[in-house]
Amino acid sequence: MNNPITTLASEMPSNHSMSLQESVNHTLQQYIAKLDGQAPSNLYELVLAEVEKPLLEMVLKLTNNNQSKAAIALGLSRGTLRKKMAIYDLN
């Protein structure tokens, strides 16, 4: 089952250079529009889950899976990073 936010993000025009904030705003507006008047539910958790996992994956890759360096780059404690890695099965 595809996630609506991920699907909408892939539909964004690729020829326009948007800031991260603009990109998120654009995607959220499209997501809410596709709800066709229905109130969103758990939007905060949905957005966090969609953003947090790829962010962790990217930073871990950039640091060659060095958790101490990744935690510093993310502004997290190493323990918090490890908890989040467990949540998203990134061990």
Q: Which of 32, 42, 39 is closest to 4 using CA atoms?
A: 32
Claim: this prediction has a pTM higher than 0.85: no
Are 60 and 91 in a shared domain?
yes
Are 60 and 23 in a shared domain?
no
How big is the chain by its Cα radius of gyration, in Å?
15
Are 17 and 4 in a shared domain?
yes
Are 29 and 48 in a shared domain?
no
Q: Structural domain of residue 73, as residue ranges?
A: 42-91
26-79 tens-digit pLDDT: 999 999 999 999 998 999 999 998 999 999 999 999 999 999 999 999 999 999
Show the DSSP H helices in the chain as ranges: 4-10, 20-34, 43-62, 67-74, 78-87
CATH number (domain holding residue 68): 1.10.10.60
Are 49 and 91 in a shared domain?
yes
